[in-house]
Structure 1
Amino acid sequence: MNPLEMSGLELLRAAASGRLPQSSMAKTIPMSFAEVDMGYVKMTARAGVQHLNPMGGVHGGFAATVLDSVTGCAVQSALEAGVGYGTIDLQVKMLRPVPRDQDVMAEGRIVHVSRNLATSEGTLKSREGKLLATATATCFLKRG
């Protein structure tokens, strides 16, 4: 199974099913796929003691990283084999503190894809469904 010969959707589904290894970032920020579809990705994540800021709260970088992952993966799900992407802009709005030692749910959706750019949006919610943070992302597409 050569990842370079797989579409973005095939690659993400292979990672979600365990046929391909997860990214190393999924170990740093414990997160895993809950759902993968064309233009849509859902992940669970969990902040631990290693993600705390000096005040004892979950660092904002945790939410930003999870949201960067779901918005980027939503874009990747629509790409054909051999096409990559990179985030060039990520805007995150923190709305509530992220809980420690509890699963949170992140969803990413494509907004628009053109030849060279793609935009997506994401949400991070508590297990009770409370909105914790939102994000919009712009990605450049690396073709051939």
Structure 2
Amino acid sequence: MTQTQDKPMETSLPQRTRTYTWQDPLIGAGAAPGLSGLAYLRGMARGDFPPPPIGQTLGFTIGGEEDVQEGRVTFRMRPEEFHYNPIGSVHGGVYATLLDSALGCAIHTLLPAGVGYTTLDLAVKYLRPLQLGLGEVRAVAEVISVSRRVATATAQIVDDAGKVYATATTTCLVMRPERAAAQPIRASGAQETVAQEAGQ
């Protein structure tokens, strides 16, 4: 009994290993302020800039330039064993990271050069478990509105058959240079409402 408490029981279960590589993320981060969000993300999809290390860590990516459109971005991922939680399915944090990435990038596609953004909130609804053997799934994000200071977007994770595994919405703070922020913008409908609510 004392030996068990002092030394964990050794097992003969097979061990898994995984090796991956990434590039300097500051290369792309340094180029981003000089490009529109659309141009930057399409450049990343072409391989002009390194993908973010979080994508290498979790195994998700933008497939190609066709996955980056104005106001719409698609990320692709194949559920793997290294994504699993203790109860045998993909961890909820993986869903959230995949959705947050797609949502933020969709908003980025509508921002001009020199304008940044950051997530204010992320709401995720988990509908079905992602598991090994499902094949590739997609996180498809679309922008709802962009005002001077606030942007909103929605996304869902779907498989090739169109089955939905999770949905999410986000609100992002848009960070414009001081001079640009002082210029009036034209807004209508939902954008005007969001701008008013943001105190603009």
Equivalenced residues, count: 144
Aligned-partner Cα distance in 1 for 2:109–2:52: 15
Secondary structure at the residue paired with 1:100?
A: coil
User: Can you list the C-alpha shifts for 1:18-53, whole angstroms capped at 9, x where unaligned?
Assistant: 111101111122112131011000121122222111
**Deviating more after overlay: 96-105 vs 107-116:** 96-105
Q: Which amino acid is the alignment partner of residue 42 of structure 2? A: R
Q: Which amino acid is the alignment partner of residue 121 of structure 2? A: D
Secondary structure at the residue paired with 2:62?
A: strand
Counterpart position of 2:173: 140
TM superposition shift of 1:129: 1.7
Counterpart position of 1:24: 53
TM superposition shift of 1:128: 2.3
Secondary structure at the residue paired with 2:90?
A: coil
1:101-112 → structure 2 map (5 Å cutoff) = 101=133, 102-112=135-145
Q: Would you identify which runs of 4 or more consecutive aligned residues in structure 1 move more than 4 Å?
A: none
Gaps of 5+ in 2: 1-27, 178-200
Aligned-partner Cα distance in 1 for 2:161–2:57: 24
Report the structure, 1 or 2, having the larger strand content.
1
Report whether the alignment pairs 1:80 with 2:123. Answer: no
Aligned-partner Cα distance in 2 for 1:22–1:142: 23
Q: Among the aligned pairs, what percent are the same residue?
A: 41
Normalised TM-score (structure 1): 0.94
Counterpart position of 1:8: 37
**Deviating more after overlay: 65-74 vs 44-53:** 44-53
- Larger Rg belongs to: 2
Gaps of 5+ in 1: none
Aligned-partner Cα distance in 2 for 1:10–1:99: 34
Normalised TM-score (structure 2): 0.69
Counterpart position of 2:69: 37
TM superposition shift of 1:77: 0.4
Counterpart position of 1:127: 160
